[in-house]
């Protein structure tokens, strides 16, 4: 008889083949690691479908008196190791395929750094810049109420992602708490510090990027204090990572953001550039740097490249031109699978998103623990624990990559998939 667990039903009936998109990329990644999963491979089908998908209608009163409807999602990919955990994205291009893939990558990321969570993600297809503050608040609250049936401090804990922030987390926490009749700070992370948020959360992802970068540099004999860096995206992730590398003596020679690209052979003055971006919203117009055309950013002579902006930035055409010996993925999904193969062949070391940008969710975990215990740690304690977790996780992944002669991305998937499927195996199937 055919083993039903091993049957390749990888295409959920609600997604047509031409809509596979990012979910299709994720499925390819799982296929790549399956040969390394040994006995646990019998459970691999678990990873190829989300546990739960919720699609919600989010109707709100607009300021002009009309009613608008938005489509919202919350996907819980896997909860074998603990409650779902992952951000909420407000963006006009959000699709179910994207939210499914992002939820799966959260399962991988959380297992890779061994925090006791499964993976989840949410989103609303909306351009939030078109909404007034009142409309944004009403949409956030209605969405939270609609997904309230599946989220909760021990069920699924949302967090910020693209176009969502501390204020939106505060509204989500308040809405959930109103519906429950009790204040539940632990239902979301990334909250304001005055509302159960954690010190160090804002810098956490950039600090994690820096930490794994330093570890990897040590392995390949690169002196970080002499390294030249190019950084795409100078926001929460890229800005903090650039600052920490510069403090370690590295020269940040090029930065690109939505406003343009700048270059300075001698190294940009990072604190002054951060202040400029805080004032003007972009690196454009920064004095003391040469302006380069955006495409030339990929040709810059550098040792480390940090993509920390958007998905699919490193592709088949620019992957051949990149000079860096090491790429640290601050953004989620910045490298296409084709580019990944080119970089691997060219011996460029890629530190994949699923480990490199896991610092954010690690400190989100600390926030959740602090909320549960109602006891808050100092920023030094948080940073020290973050660095310890990131170093240990990276060392484990490095070992698996060396043992199996695979890329760090495949190694991270091997480590994470084994942890998830081991939990699945121990729990067994209900009923």
Residues at the site binding ligand NAD, with contacts judged by CB under 6 A: 161-162, 205, 232-238, 256-258, 308-310, 330-332, 357, 360
Nearest distance, CB of residue 356 and ligand NAD, angstroms: 9
Nearest distance, CB of residue 280 and ligand NAD, angstroms: 11
Nearest distance, CB of residue 220 and ligand NAD, angstroms: 24
SS3 state of residue 241:
helix
Encoded tokens for 104: 């799966």
- Across the strands, what pairs with 292? 261
CA atoms within 13 A on the CB side of 97: 17
Nearest distance, CB of residue 25 and ligand NAD, angstroms: 15
Nearest distance, CB of residue 85 and ligand NAD, angstroms: 12
8 Å CB contact between 40 and 421: yes
Q: Which of 48, 85, 121, 418 is catalytic?
A: 121
Encoded tokens for 128: 């939030």
3-state helix, strand, coil in the chain (%, to 5): 50, 15, 30
Instruction: Considering the complex, state which of residue 235 and residue 267 has its C-beta at the smaller distance from ligand NAD.
Output: 235
Residue sitting closest to ligand NAD (CB): 235
Instruction: Considering the complex, state which of residue 37 and residue 101 has its C-beta at the smaller distance from ligand NAD.
Output: 101
Instruction: Considering the complex, state which of residue 295 and residue 345 has its C-beta at the smaller distance from ligand NAD.
Output: 295
Instruction: Considering the complex, state which of residue 158 and residue 360 has its C-beta at the smaller distance from ligand NAD.
Output: 360
Element (H, E) at 389: helix 379-404
41: which residues sit within 8 A by CB, 6+ positions away?
34, 35, 421
Is residue 16 part of the annotated active site? The answer reads: no
Instruction: Considering the complex, state which of residue 46 and residue 205 has its C-beta at the smaller distance from ligand NAD.
Output: 205
8 Å CB contact between 319 and 341: no
Please calculate the CA angle 233-237-241 and round it to the nearest 5 degrees.
95
Catalytic residues: 121
């Amino acid at each position: 008889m055919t083993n039903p667990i091993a049957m390749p039903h990888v295409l959920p009936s609600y997604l047509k083949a031409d809509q596979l998109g990012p979910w299709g990329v994720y499925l390819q990644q799982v296929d790549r690691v399956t040969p390394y999963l040994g006995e646990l491979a019998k459970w691999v089908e678990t990873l190829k479908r989300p546990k739960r998908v919720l699609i919600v209608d989010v109707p709100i009163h607009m300021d002009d008196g009309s009613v608008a409807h938005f489509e919202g999602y919350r996907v819980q990919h896997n909860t074998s190791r603990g409650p779902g955990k992952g951000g909420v994205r407000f963006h006009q291009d959000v699709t179910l395929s994207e939210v499914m893939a992002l939820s799966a990558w959260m399962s991988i990321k959380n297992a890779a750094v061994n925090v006791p969570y499964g993976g989840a993600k949410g989103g609303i297809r909306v351009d939030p810049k078109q909404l007034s503050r009142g409309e944004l608040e009403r949409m956030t609250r209605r969405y939270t109420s609609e997904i309230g049936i599946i989220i909760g401090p021990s069920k699924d804990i949302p967090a910020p992602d693209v176009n969502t922030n501390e204020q939106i987390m505060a509204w989500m926490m308040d809405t959930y708490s109103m519906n429950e009749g009790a204040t539940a700070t632990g239902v979301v992370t990334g909250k304001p510090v005055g509302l159960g948020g954690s010190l160090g959360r804002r810098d956490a992802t950039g600090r994690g990027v820096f930490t794994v970068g330093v570890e990897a540099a040590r392995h390949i004999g690169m002196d970080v204090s002499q390294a030249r860096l190019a950084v795409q995206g100078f926001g929460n992730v890229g800005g903090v990572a650039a600052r920490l590398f510069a403090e370690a003596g590295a020269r940040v020679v090029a930065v690109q953001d939505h406003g343009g690209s700048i270059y300075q052979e001698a190294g940009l003055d990072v604190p002054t550039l951060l202040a400029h971006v805080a004032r003007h919203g972009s690196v454009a117009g920064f004095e003391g740097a040469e302006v380069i055309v955006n495409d030339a950013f990929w040709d810059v002579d550098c040792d480390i490249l940090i993509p920390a902006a958007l998905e699919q930035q490193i592709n088949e055409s620019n992957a051949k031109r990149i000079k860096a010996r090491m790429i640290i993925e601050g953004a989620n999904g910045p490298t296409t699978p084709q580019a990944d193969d080119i970089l691997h062949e060219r011996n460029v070391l890629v530190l994949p998103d699923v480990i490199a940008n896991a610092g954010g969710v690690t400190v989100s975990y600390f926030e959740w623990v602090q909320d549960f215990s109602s006891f808050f740690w100092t920023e030094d304690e948080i940073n020290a624990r973050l660095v310890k977790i990131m170093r240990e996780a990276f060392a484990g992944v490095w070992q698996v990559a060396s043992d199996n002669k695979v890329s760090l991305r495949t190694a991270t998937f091997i480590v994470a998939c084994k942890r998830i499927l081991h939990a699945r195996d121990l729990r067994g199937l209900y009923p």
